[in-house]
Amino acid sequence: MCDYNPRRFVVHKPDLCVDLHCHSTASDGVLSPAELLARAAERGVTHLALTDHDTLAGLAEARQAAQDCGVHLINGIELSCQWRQHTIHVVGLDVRDDDAPFLARVTQQTENRWARARLIADRLERLKVPDLVDRATAQAGGSVPGRPHFAAALVEAGAVKSPAQAFKRHLGAGKPGDVRAFWPPLEDVVAWILEAGGVPVLAHPRKYKMTATRLRDLVRDFQEAGGQGLEVMTSGQSPADLSFLADLCEKRGLWASQGSDFHFPGAPWCELGQGMGQALRLPDRLEPVWRHFRAPVVQPGG
Ligand code: MN
Ligand code: MN
Ligand code: MN
């Protein structure tokens, strides 16, 4: 938790506590946007970007809640895309949320997810589970279901004994329900974010389980496409990952970002304002991405 508490440290210069990656019920998070903002405020987060998967639907509620609890909200989104055979996530920070072409592309992206969900259900029709898309959607809390949600729905309907069995028989690699998501190329989503006035940031680079060489190729292609930021600190990475990414970020002259990728409360390894079990904080040698927002975020008094 960030240690700034305005009641305890009246003369203490308030520190920034910046978290630029998290999810609400508008995608696969468990807290509503308002609940998320309240939790961020409790945890001492001063600047939060809501970055739901392929949707801006949570932003209006988040903005109202941010005003109520005194947290500075930054518009955000996490867009899925394709690079070589990998699905890659690009966070768009400080995007304009009233940009008609961008909104149309985001709608298309959401529709891609629904089309895939319907196709998965079609492919599993022989299991004779009625209303499978609806059941999977319920498992996803009302947002677009992915394969884990279909697995849960199949368990609930008694078609399989466990999620593992659902994957082994019906949803895993090479099985009928293994429908590849249809995502646009990396360069396209980077261009969309730039056109909407935002900053494209390559999300959780260590999560793709790539070799260092391949990851450097990805970062090079991302940067050539106009990508500007690298998520250097996030949950679920090691100190070695952090130093590798910090070096890569500095060497490529990218702006550094940090975010918890918070989805739900109760996970000790992932909390708002934190990453790697400590307060989010970038190595001093890196250039923070938030200095490059349309309204730059600066250290108070600094
Ligand atoms: Mn997610
Ligand atoms: Mn992601
Ligand atoms: Mn995420």
> What is the DSSP secondary-structure string of 64-95?
HHHHHHTPEEEEEEEEEEEETTEEEEEEEES-
Average pLDDT, integer, range 58-74:
97
Q: Is this model's pTM higher than 0.95 or not? A: no
The residue ranges of every structural domain in the chain are 2-107+182-298, 108-171
Q: From ligand 1's centre to the CA of 10, what distance in Å?
A: 37
The pLDDT assigned to 46 comes to 96
For the CA of 260, the nearest ligand: 3
For the CA of 207, the nearest ligand: 2
The pLDDT assigned to 10 comes to 42
For the CA of 28, the nearest ligand: 1
Q: From ligand 3's centre to the CA of 287, what distance in Å?
A: 22
Report the chain's mean pLDDT, rounded to a whole number.
Answer: 92
Q: From ligand 1's centre to the CA of 276, what distance in Å?
A: 18
Of 49-63, 241-255, 263-277, least confident by mean pLDDT is 263-277
Average pLDDT, integer, range 202-214:
96
The pLDDT assigned to 146 comes to 87
d(CA 38, CA 52): 17
The pLDDT assigned to 77 comes to 98
Whether the pLDDT of residue 285 is over 90: the answer is: yes
Q: From ligand 3's centre to the CA of 231, what distance in Å?
A: 11
Average pLDDT, integer, range 193-210:
97
Structure tokens of 143? 């947002």
Q: From ligand 3's centre to the CA of 299, what distance in Å?
A: 26
Q: From ligand 1's centre to the CA of 78, what distance in Å?
A: 9
- Tell me the CATH number of domain 108-171, given options 1.10.860, 3.40.50, 1.10.260, 1.10.150: 1.10.150
Of 10-24, 174-188, 283-297, least confident by mean pLDDT is 10-24
**Contact between 248 and 237 (Cβ < 8 Å):** no
Q: From ligand 1's centre to the CA of 91, what distance in Å?
A: 12
**Contact between 119 and 113 (Cβ < 8 Å):** no
For the CA of 203, the nearest ligand: 2
For the CA of 204, the nearest ligand: 2
Average pLDDT, integer, range 268-275:
90
Q: Which residues contact 239 (CB under 8 A, 6 or more apart)?
A: 276
> What is the DSSP secondary-structure string of 236-298?
T--HHHHHHHHHHHHHHTPEEEE---B-STT-TT--TTEETTEE----TTS-BGGGGSSS---
The pLDDT assigned to 14 comes to 58
> What is the DSSP secondary-structure string of 151-216?
HHHHHHTTSSSSHHHHIIIIISTTSTT-PPP---BHHHHHHHHHHTT-EEEE--GGGG---HHHHH
Whether the pLDDT of residue 9 is over 90: the answer is: no
Structure tokens of 13? 């210069």
Q: What does the pLDDT look like over 23-65, one tens digit per residue?
A: 999 888 999 999 999 999 999 999 999 999 999 999 999 999 9
Q: Which residues contact 180 (CB under 8 A, 6 or more apart)?
A: none
Q: From ligand 3's centre to the CA of 261, what distance in Å?
A: 5
The pLDDT assigned to 33 comes to 98
Of 5-9, 26-30, 195-199, 246-250, least confident by mean pLDDT is 5-9
The pLDDT assigned to 1 comes to 52
- Tell me the CATH number of domain 2-107+182-298, given options 3.30.70.260, 3.40.630.10, 3.40.1190.20, 3.20.20.140: 3.20.20.140
* Signed CA dihedral, 54, 146, 116, 31: sign only: negative
Chain-centroid distance, C-alpha 17: 18
